[in-house]
Amino acid sequence: MDNMLLCNFDAIDRQHERILDLLKHMATADFPDQETAVACLQELKTTTLEHFDQEETLLCTVLSKDEVDNHSKLHQDFESRIVALMQYLARNRMMNRMLAASTAKWYRDHVLVEDKAILAKVRLKLDLKENDREARPAATRPATEPQQVKTTLFDIVGALRRLWLPS
């Protein structure tokens, strides 16, 4: 896939690639019959719905409800484009290549702009959370460390005294 589209979440990147491949196929392929075109559109619908579900679940882990809802509205917009493609196919018994191409462009732009931005924010928040989690046990460490240093110094002094002072 075009590196520009990578969002640094492997599973999400793979799903984006699959959806973009299906859209490209719909916009360029010569479907031998209506059934083949319907099967492709059905696969797009299933893959997309699964992807939106997983992406929104990931967003929910660290973002506010409003942020997730705003992104979810964009996904609903895309779902209505799939419905329009299905309706055209049902009426005309053929794929609407122009509509498929504009749907592919919409989706590519969505990944490039909105997904990349929001997933970068998710990555940042997850990293901060992870750093915070790693830093917390260290905060309890100083309570034991001076004690260990004191013991060590005491041991050294004791050892020196035993070496140099007559018993």
Binding site for Fe ion (CB under 5 A): 55, 115
Q: Which is nearer to Fe ion, 40 or 55 (CB)?
A: 55
Q: Which is nearer to Fe ion, 40 or 119 (CB)?
A: 119
CB 95: neighbour CB atoms within 10 A?
Answer: 24
Q: How far is the CB of 16 from Fe ion (least distance, A)?
A: 6
Q: How far is the CB of 55 from Fe ion (least distance, A)?
A: 5
Query: Which residue, judged by CB position, is nearest to Fe ion in the bound state?
Result: 115
Q: Which is nearer to Fe ion, 55 or 108 (CB)?
A: 55
The answer to whether 59 touches 126, Cβ cutoff 8 Å, is no
Q: Which is nearer to Fe ion, 97 or 110 (CB)?
A: 110
The answer to whether 1 touches 13, Cβ cutoff 8 Å, is yes
Q: How far is the CB of 71 from Fe ion (least distance, A)?
A: 6
Q: How far is the CB of 51 from Fe ion (least distance, A)?
A: 6
Q: How far is the CB of 24 from Fe ion (least distance, A)?
A: 16
Paired tokens of 23:
């859209």
Q: Which is nearer to Fe ion, 26 or 108 (CB)?
A: 108
